[in-house]
Amino acid sequence: MAKNKFLFLKVVLSFLLLSMILRFVVYALEVKSEFKVPDCESNRILQLKDPLMTGYDVIELEERMIELGVYSGPAFGVYDYRLAQAVTAFQGSKELEPNGIVGPETWNALAGEDSEDRPTNAKPRPKGKITLTIHVNSRTLTVYSDGEVYKRYPIGVGKASTPTPIGEWKIVHKSTGWGGGFGTRWLGLNIPWGIYGIHGTNKPWSIGRAESHGCIRMHNKDVEELFSWITVGTEVDIIGDISHIQVKDNLSPGRTGKDIVKFQMILREAGFNPGRADGRYGQQTIDAIKSLQRYYSLPVTGIAGPDEFILLKLK
């Protein structure tokens, strides 16, 4: 009998230990997934390789060198021999090692007169509740304190081909450790279809332009100030044009995407509150659809189909 109790206890303890290990593994995977390095910027060292290096970061290098008049282009996004020669000549003119390898020193030299050495007009932390509004068209980030404008910063936003996501987001991650193309600070957003954030940059000339891969770029000194004020959970509204986004029929719970953001905004305009336009067809959006269905005597399903689209003037 005692032997059976011992075996039973051993099995229970083994099960508990296994359960703890599994929980730890799941947690570790979730953290790794949530905080993985985003693809909106690149920390690559650019140089001649076989095969040739290609990508968005090469295009940015070419565009900046064309702008400075040290490369004749065009910008193909391929780090070939001709581009390497131009980089080498540029490095020599800036008293850098003329090796054709583009790392932090070369990016800093490319900044030229657009360097970080500029007044920041530093201010103390706002005393009220902080919210942020980003206007894509005017390339500005505005800090609000209890609903009142507190400070405004210039920013860089996404190109037309890689736009900054419009919607109503929250800060879900803060980091000081990525450096390189991400500058000195990172503020991650809860955008469900990709990894986007507000961050510094080693390309300060891009501030005020539509140059990024979708993220919001700031001067490093500006993002350092903002970083010190912001907490996880801070609301960030990104405002811009969504007229080109198409909303498809039969939206159902669990869906995410840009079309859900637009659909949530249209629901709100119609008087049915889906909560924040965060691109997630969650419970608040379900409740808003059900309210619409009850109001118009439709079957209360929480699913947006053809009838709901007609009522919302989406068809």
Question: Which bin fits 237, alpha (ψ -120 to 50), beta or left (φ > 0)?
Answer: beta
Burial grade of 243 (CB within 10 A; 0-12, 13-18, 19 or more): exposed
Q: How far apart are CA 176 and CA 144, in angstroms?
A: 23
Q: How far apart are CA 198 and CA 215, in angstroms?
A: 6
Instruction: Name, in order, each residue with C-beta under 8 angstroms of 147's C-beta and a sequence gap of 6 or more.
Output: 128, 131
Q: How far apart are CA 259 and CA 265, in angstroms?
A: 10
Catalytic residue list:
199, 215
Alpha helix ranges (H) inside 170-234: 220-229
Residue 147 CA to its chain's centroid (Å):
24
* 3 state DSSP class of 150: strand
Minimal CA–CA distance to 230: which of 122, 130, 128? 130
> Do residues 28 and 186 touch, judged by C-beta distance below 8 A?
no
Q: How far apart are CA 165 and CA 218, in angstroms?
A: 16
Burial grade of 236 (CB within 10 A; 0-12, 13-18, 19 or more): buried
Q: How far apart are CA 101 and CA 256, in angstroms?
A: 41
> Do residues 57 and 103 touch, judged by C-beta distance below 8 A?
no
Question: Which bin fits 180, alpha (ψ -120 to 50), beta or left (φ > 0)?
Answer: left
